[in-house]
Amino acid sequence: MGCFKFDLFIWVFSVLCLGLLCSGFVPADNYLIDCGSLANTTVGKCVFLADNLASKYLSSPKGVVANVSLKSITSFDDSPLYQTARIFPESSKYTFPISQSGRHWIRLYFYPFTFGSYDLSKAKFSVSAQNFALLTDFSVQNTSLKEFSVNVTSDSLVITFTPSSNSFAFLNAIEVVSVPDQLITDDASTVSEKFQGLTNQALETAWRVNMGGPRVSFENDTLWRTWVPDQSFLVNENLAQDFSNIAAVKYEAGLATADIAPQTVYGTLTEMNSANNPNSNFNVTWEFTVDPGFQYLVRFHFCDVVSKALNQLYFNVYVDSSNVAPDLDLSSVAFNKLAVPYYLDFVTASTVRNKLRISIGPSAENNAYPNAILNGLEIMKMNNSAGSLSGANSVSSSNPGSKSNVGVIVGASVGSFIAVALAGVLFVLCRRRKRLADQGHSKTWIPFSMNGTNSHTMGSKYSYGTTASAASNYSYRFPFGVVQEATSNFDESWVIGIGGFGKVYKGTLNDGTKVAVKRGNPRSQQGLAEFRTEIEMLSQFRHRHLVSLIGYCDDKNEMILIYEYMENGTLKGHLYGSGNPSLSWKQRLEVCIGSARGLHYLHTGYAKAVIHRDVKSANILLDENLMAKVADFGLSKTGPEIDQTHVSTAVKGSFGYLDPEYFRRQQLTEKSDVYSFGVVLFEVLCARPVIDPSLPREMVNLAEWAMKWQKKGQLEQIIDSTLAGKIRPDSLRKFAETAEKCLADYGVDRPSMGDVLWNLEYALQLQEAEIPGDTEENSTNMIGELSPQVNNLNNVDTSDSAAQFEVSSVDDLSGVSMSKVFSQLVKSEGR
């Protein structure tokens, strides 16, 4: 809203007494009209003119006046402005004299009530101003306040309402109000090497958010803007916390003013919830829905009311994946003062997705305590090159001043270019670095004793969800110091794998036991829940074919899991891509049988079935005797009971292994593991990645490709060439039939893990029956035509064949954890 008739005395008083540098902006142009209303309407301290008093601004045809009774309004904002409307069956326009050129707000109020034969929710129309299409074929189902701003350089502003064919337009209220010149500048605040010309842009406010604070209503904003709280935009609320010190805010001349954003916005913020962990390293991320195909002006509001001293806070600010303010040090940009409001403008490239992600995270460059803050955020849509702000196109043809009406279809066809480059505005930040003492490493280690009092069961520590009490004394809580010692303080050269969860190190306990130490990224997105699940699962389940958990460490917010060391790494590493000697058919069968036993035990060995959910060759580990053990229970769930009460059935798993039925219906059963295991069987047979984008289209997905050949009865055409001539046809047939059944479209048609196990054992017997060893051949058609797709994708040295756990790599989609990707797509409460 646009009323600025505040009391001058109060203003002077606050400047003098509170030391505020309030601009005291009084708009030169200030038109407020309550369309259709018979009387003036007062909102806050503002008076919206009765419709008849504003009719001089409306040229004929003036349309129809409509009203509705207040009680039928159910909107969030039962403002009387929504009670009446003006309906335009034909194109109509308002013309406002402009006394001072410059940017003006245009705020349009819509509420679709029914009046006589007019159902306003059926209205469809376009609105244009100057040469800009503000709305195109717009219709409205709910209360809606649209805020635009345009720079008006002529002495009048014409706003045209044009019904779409066979429809009509309407409007409940309108504001046309001058904007202070310094609010949106062409270059001053944006120091733009890359983007210039903001003053010529029409802008539409997409989002205006007060981080870490309350909704700020228009009455508490000098320019009558509304700021909404940020919680609902946070991707992970647990990673963020609020902070507030409104009284500390001190506006400084030359930086942000109270017109840029009010004190309540600058005095409250969202920061990292690092839970006193000096090793915290994660981003706080918000996600906003936007229209693809437009550039956006993103305005960040900062005010460091958190720091106790200068140069304590260094952080990064990201728009999507671009770091737009590396190592931002607010005390340096704000004249070496704290608590000074400051803002930063960025212009994005044309968006491709319908989401814009804003993240803040600690700077790695400084030894400062990890934190990052954001006080407020505005996201403003910029007109496209056709002068349009709306998804469709064309400027209303009834606007005589409009330029070409050629429609430009934007957005959808932008192609595969995903990265949102920033034509940004880069502030030169003078950075003063202050090295803070590294507090990360305590040298006081508690002596560790396997049976001693230092260990305690996790039943007490993690008391939610499935109970872990029964076997919990198998897993020990390790002091952090012991883990440090075992891994030579997490020596990078001891890393044997990297996965979504974090890094895996080789280690040796002081009694000589070799261990694999999996260290979660502190509070990684997947982190905590999976950490706990894994401890619970592995503490309950002891089986020869399940990897054993030796202990865990949760000191200092660490998430560390300590496993028995698996000398021979992953099954995947023995199939392709790592240079390990390839396994014989018999060895492969034994590995498959071993892992099938492990999964069978999971499905049946306990009162409730446990579904692994991430069965893949990278999660099958091999010990020194090549005995297979199933690993990585982070995603596991116990049967339906938990499923109904527990947080999420969001589709998780890995690309290429995912049960299509589970994906479609989000119904989790053991048969999803059976499907994934079937993919593993084909992987074992063909020795190629389950997804290989470098191959021709029909070959990319192993499951599809192998099924195609299996259905033709010619699977032998695509098997691992090193197996050619070494598999007995009977054994191959049994194996392939088993794999095929696992991949049945519907879970009910798939065998149980027990059946799979039995069939694999049978395949092994068929192999052993007549051809002892893997000497030679004679059986027909054993030549695999397809050479295995051997790509050495690993970015960690795995030559010692100790590549335990997944080594992730961009090209290797089979290793991409689906949880990140699809938890966004599939609503948490899956069913």
Ligand X SMILES: *[C@@H]1O[C@H](CO)[C@@H](O)[C@H](O)[C@H]1NC(C)=O
Residue 239: CB minimum distance to ligand X, A: 10
Cβ contact 350:295 at 8 Å: yes
Distances (CA, A) of 369 to 162, 331, 488, 551: 56, 15, 24, 29
Q: Which position among 259, 320, 614, 692 bears the catalytic label?
A: 614
Residue 812: CB minimum distance to ligand X, A: 19
Residue 317: CB minimum distance to ligand X, A: 10
Residue closer to ligand X (CB basis): 570 or 808: 808
Residue 448's φ and ψ, nearest 5 degrees, are -105, 135
Residue closer to ligand X (CB basis): 236 or 473: 236
By the 10 Å C-beta count (0-12 exposed, 13-18 middle, 19+ buried), 197 is classed as: exposed
Residue nearest to ligand X (CB): 199
Cβ contact 432:365 at 8 Å: no
Q: Please enumerate in sequence order all residues whose Cβ is within 8 A of that of 795, keeping only pairs 6 or more positions apart, or say none.
A: 498, 807, 809
Cβ contact 774:782 at 8 Å: no
Token pair belonging to 537: 């699962």
Residue 301 host element (H or E): strand 296-302
Residues in the chain: 831
Strands 549-553 and 476-477: parallel
Residue closer to ligand X (CB basis): 385 or 644: 385
Residue 516: CB minimum distance to ligand X, A: 24
Question: What does the H/E/C string look like for 450-487?
Answer: CCCCCCCCHHHHCCCCCCCCCCHHHCEECCHHHHHHHC
Residue closer to ligand X (CB basis): 26 or 446: 26
Cβ contact 190:140 at 8 Å: no
Q: Please enumerate in sequence order all residues whose Cβ is within 8 A of that of 458, keeping only pairs 6 or more positions apart, or say none.
A: 468, 472, 475, 477, 535, 536, 539, 552
401: helix, strand or coil: coil
Cβ contact 322:296 at 8 Å: no
Residue closer to ligand X (CB basis): 257 or 383: 383
518 annotated among ligand-binding-site residues: yes
Cβ contact 550:475 at 8 Å: yes
Residue 179: CB minimum distance to ligand X, A: 7
Residue 678 host element (H or E): helix 670-686
For residue 547, give the DSSP letter: P
Binding footprint of ligand X on the chain (CB under 6 A): 38-40, 47, 49, 53, 67, 76, 83-84, 102-103, 131, 141-142, 151, 153, 181, 199-201, 217, 219-220, 264, 281-283, 295, 318, 321, 359, 361, 382-385, 387
For residue 237, give the DSSP letter: G
Residue closer to ligand X (CB basis): 507 or 522: 522
CA–CA separation, 426 and 503 (whole Å): 34
CA–CA separation, 722 and 684 (whole Å): 12
230 catalytic? Reply is no
Residue 387: CB minimum distance to ligand X, A: 5
Residue 310: CB minimum distance to ligand X, A: 25
For residue 570, give the DSSP letter: B
Residue closer to ligand X (CB basis): 131 or 454: 131
Residue 322: CB minimum distance to ligand X, A: 7
CA–CA separation, 698 and 681 (whole Å): 19
- State whether the Cα torsion 324-326-331-334 is positive or negative: negative
- State whether the Cα torsion 148-154-156-158 is positive or negative: negative
Residue closer to ligand X (CB basis): 196 or 584: 196
Binding site membership for ATP: which residues? 518
- Tell me the catalytic residues: 614
